[in-house]
Structure 1
């Protein structure tokens, strides 16, 4: 994709006409899909690295905290990389608060040299500022936090492939959408949590599509046998052959493709909001396209590949061609067929 120049006018005192060229820059936003058994997920981002499109040794851009040197070896060679210090890093972000389309800026219009790029890499710290708090904790306070292990955090970072060309006097704006339900696993043997980050990256300026709707409990006995509290809305790209929820990996696995053969993984998900029927939901943003939207009900454990009950929309026919803005999809939970 090619990004052209953006212009803006600013109000304020003082006369005079004329304009100023928009500086070439990068904005990175963070958002996330929900996770069930954790009330807080704090993650500290320490560095951001952009890789050149030609795959060569030169042309890297490395964003590091002000007054520090890069921890990634390739960023230490001035012949290979441009190092940009920024006060935006390090930044601790609480991910569970960023659902239903909300986001926070990790980098905000930071200087970025014009050029062609193919990958954005995030380095995440495993220190005391990266931790989780369980729903079973006395309260969602920092003192109840537990270490979150991220095996690939500093060795390779989280790699996000995105091809783009940045022209002079232009801005790019991307949103990185973490899927905590797929990223974080609980391991009973060690009684610990591990994060193998799973995320997608979208162009913020064109990803303007969301799904919203209601879920109505029309069972003869409300909440029985299907309890809406165990339901979640999943969005799949295209027409999934075998819809699935979570993927189980071994505790020491660093293989990012380990989930590829275990059913079709959801692209987006959304929790149900409300304590009585009808419940509401709103997904995060995505680009226009064809999607299958399903309601999945059942105990969804992050450390298991569950067999859930999937419910189709009450009116819409999947797949749905989503248009910009809100696309409404409603569900009705009825008594199971004998």
Structure 2
């Protein structure tokens, strides 16, 4: 029994905290449904599963996208309890039910729009025209360019709290020279990489108004001139504190507004989807976009060793269109 418990714990530990939390919420909802209808828990027959889905959607007003996540969690717990997934959850009737419920849902407005290269150029112009102090402007410009050309998630270059952990969060030492015209950012971990296998992100000197090389290098020189430690946070506020996600989002909204862009339509994730959108518009292949965004870690690792020039060319294409440079 101890070995079984240990293996179950290891399986749960393989999931990200957010995914595990969502799965557990689904399991608790499933349990509450059983209690409400005096059913023996857990029951995985088709009638119980479809009734739970209908109850969650029509009574609890839970959208089908969330129900789908809940079912994945319920299926995981079924595997842990009985050693195999629930046949009912993968039954065609369940898929048809969810499809029918989804069609009845009102369409939601998109939570975030892509911050494409033309919008990024407007934000950079706002910063270079003097948004705040020179240090804050330099910090934010470096963050914007790194996020865009690195196809980064906000969590990959900011901290969720004021506590800095050099083993998990970006540090000054994570950016180094790869060659005379290329910087390398060491991405310690990402949402899709829970094992902490680092990936290099390359930033090139481009013949473009949006070239990330010089602004980021200037920011690093500024930090090192203040005798910062290599393990200090990569991005800090003017008072020396780690640049948190909240701090970044606050300034992003202000800069968007000053640039004539509706801030409520964008978020930190808009840089990543904006880079992907711009790349697609420029005719960059789907495979290369997946490599740039690290949607497949294995593909990225295999690609960079022999095709770094293709990544450089993709950055050239992204930076050159369609705002036309400045």
- TM-score, normalization: structure 1? 0.23
> Which is strand-richer, 1 or 2?
1
- TM-score, normalization: structure 2? 0.24
